[in-house]
Protein backbone atom coordinates (compact mmCIF):
# COMPACT_ATOMS: atom_id res chain seq x y z
CA UNK A 1 0.00 0.00 0.00
CA UNK A 2 1.45 3.42 -0.95
CA UNK A 3 2.45 5.75 1.86
CA UNK A 4 0.61 9.02 2.28
CA UNK A 5 2.34 12.09 0.80
CA UNK A 6 2.80 14.43 3.75
CA UNK A 7 3.78 18.10 3.72
CA UNK A 8 3.32 21.14 5.92
CA UNK A 9 3.59 24.77 4.84
CA UNK A 10 5.70 26.26 7.63
CA UNK A 11 5.83 29.83 6.29
CA UNK A 12 4.25 31.67 3.37
CA UNK A 13 6.47 34.36 1.86
CA UNK A 14 4.36 35.61 -1.05
CA UNK A 15 2.42 35.06 -4.23
CA UNK A 16 4.19 35.69 -7.54
CA UNK A 17 1.04 35.50 -9.69
CA UNK A 18 -2.61 34.50 -9.40
CA UNK A 19 -5.72 34.10 -11.54
CA UNK A 20 -9.22 32.68 -11.30
CA UNK A 21 -11.31 30.70 -13.77
CA UNK A 22 -15.02 31.18 -14.47
CA UNK A 23 -15.70 27.93 -12.55
CA UNK A 24 -14.31 29.41 -9.32
CA UNK A 25 -10.99 27.58 -9.42
CA UNK A 26 -8.07 29.82 -8.51
CA UNK A 27 -4.45 29.37 -9.53
CA UNK A 28 -1.36 30.85 -7.93
CA UNK A 29 2.42 30.60 -7.96
CA UNK A 30 3.70 30.90 -4.39
CA UNK A 31 6.97 31.05 -2.48
CA UNK A 32 6.77 29.06 0.76
CA UNK A 33 8.87 27.18 3.27
CA UNK A 34 7.60 23.58 3.22
CA UNK A 35 8.53 20.49 5.23
CA UNK A 36 8.04 17.29 3.22
CA UNK A 37 7.52 14.27 5.44
CA UNK A 38 9.89 14.43 8.38
CA UNK A 39 12.66 16.21 6.45
CA UNK A 40 14.01 19.69 7.14
CA UNK A 41 11.88 22.43 5.52
CA UNK A 42 12.93 23.69 2.08
CA UNK A 43 12.13 26.83 0.15
CA UNK A 44 9.51 26.05 -2.44
CA UNK A 45 8.35 27.90 -5.57
CA UNK A 46 5.27 26.11 -6.88
CA UNK A 47 1.93 26.33 -8.66
CA UNK A 48 -1.15 25.80 -6.47
CA UNK A 49 -4.76 25.20 -7.45
CA UNK A 50 -7.66 25.90 -5.11
CA UNK A 51 -10.91 24.37 -6.34
CA UNK A 52 -14.32 25.96 -5.81
CA UNK A 53 -14.94 23.51 -2.94
CA UNK A 54 -11.82 24.81 -1.12
CA UNK A 55 -9.56 21.82 -1.73
CA UNK A 56 -5.96 22.85 -2.43
CA UNK A 57 -3.71 20.93 -4.83
CA UNK A 58 0.02 21.27 -5.34
CA UNK A 59 1.32 21.52 -8.91
CA UNK A 60 4.76 21.49 -10.46
CA UNK A 61 7.47 23.44 -8.75
CA UNK A 62 11.01 23.56 -7.43
CA UNK A 63 12.44 23.13 -3.95
CA UNK A 64 15.61 24.88 -2.83
CA UNK A 65 17.89 24.57 0.18
CA UNK A 66 18.81 27.76 2.05
CA UNK A 67 22.16 27.80 0.22
CA UNK A 68 20.45 27.42 -3.16
CA UNK A 69 17.98 30.19 -2.29
CA UNK A 70 20.91 32.48 -1.40
CA UNK A 71 22.56 31.69 -4.75
CA UNK A 72 19.28 32.35 -6.58
CA UNK A 73 19.05 35.74 -4.87
CA UNK A 74 22.59 36.58 -6.03
CA UNK A 75 21.73 35.59 -9.60
CA UNK A 76 18.54 37.70 -9.53
CA UNK A 77 20.43 40.67 -8.05
CA UNK A 78 23.04 40.38 -10.83
CA UNK A 79 20.28 40.20 -13.45
CA UNK A 80 18.66 43.32 -12.01
CA UNK A 81 21.98 45.20 -12.17
CA UNK A 82 22.48 44.14 -15.80
CA UNK A 83 18.96 45.26 -16.72
CA UNK A 84 19.54 48.67 -15.10
CA UNK A 85 22.57 49.13 -17.35
CA UNK A 86 20.61 48.56 -20.57
Q: What is the pLDDT of residues 3-28, one digit of tens each?
A: 788 999 999 999 999 999 998 899 99
- Predicted local confidence at residue 4, as pLDDT: 80
Q: What is the pLDDT of residues 36-53, one digit of tens each?
A: 999 999 999 999 999 888
| pTM for this prediction | 0.83
Domain 7-85 annotated CATH 3.40.50.300: no
Cα–Cα distance, 17 to 59 (Å, whole number): 14
Q: Where exactly are the structural domains of the chain?
A: 7-85
Distances in Å between the Cα of 1 and the Cα atoms of 4, 33, 36, 46 are 9, 29, 19, 28
> From its phi and psi, is residue 4 left (phi > 0), alpha (psi between -120 and 50) or beta?
beta
Amino acid sequence: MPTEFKYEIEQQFGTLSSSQSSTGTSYSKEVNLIAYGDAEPKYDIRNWTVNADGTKRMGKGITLSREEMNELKKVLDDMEEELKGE
